């Protein structure tokens, strides 16, 4: 599993589970891919978004932010 950290031009900079940085050409990702999405390889040179895991991570981050700073208005 990889997490998209950021985009630099046509390259997605991703973080692997072990913390390694992986660069992926944006053309290998779905068009709707964005920073913070969890992705996985479906075939050589082709990735898909793991929507359930992405939502789980975003919800956990939101709860942590609310714990630290209080609920958003």
What pLDDT digit, counting tens, does each position of 20-34 carry?
Answer: 999 999 999 999 999
How confident is the model at residue 5, as a pLDDT?
A: 97
Q: How many CB atoms lie within 10 A of CB 73?
A: 3
Q: Locate the domains of the chain by residue range.
A: 2-69
> pTM for this structure?
0.88
Q: Which CATH architecture has domain 2-69?
A: Beta Barrel (2.40)
Residue 71 confidence (pLDDT) above 90: no
Residue 72 confidence (pLDDT) above 80: no
Greater confidence (63 vs 71) lies with 63
What pLDDT digit, counting tens, does each position of 44-69 carry?
Answer: 999 999 999 999 999 999 999 999 99
């Amino acid at each position: 599993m990889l997490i998209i950290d950021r985009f630099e031009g046509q390259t997605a900079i991703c973080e692997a589970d072990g913390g390694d940085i992986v660069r992926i050409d944006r053309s290998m990702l779905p068009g709707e891919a964005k920073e913070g999405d969890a992705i996985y390889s479906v075939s050589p040179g082709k990735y898909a978004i793991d929507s359930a895991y992405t939502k789980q991570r975003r919800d956990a981050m939101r709860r942590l932010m609310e714990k630290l700073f209080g609920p958003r208005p």
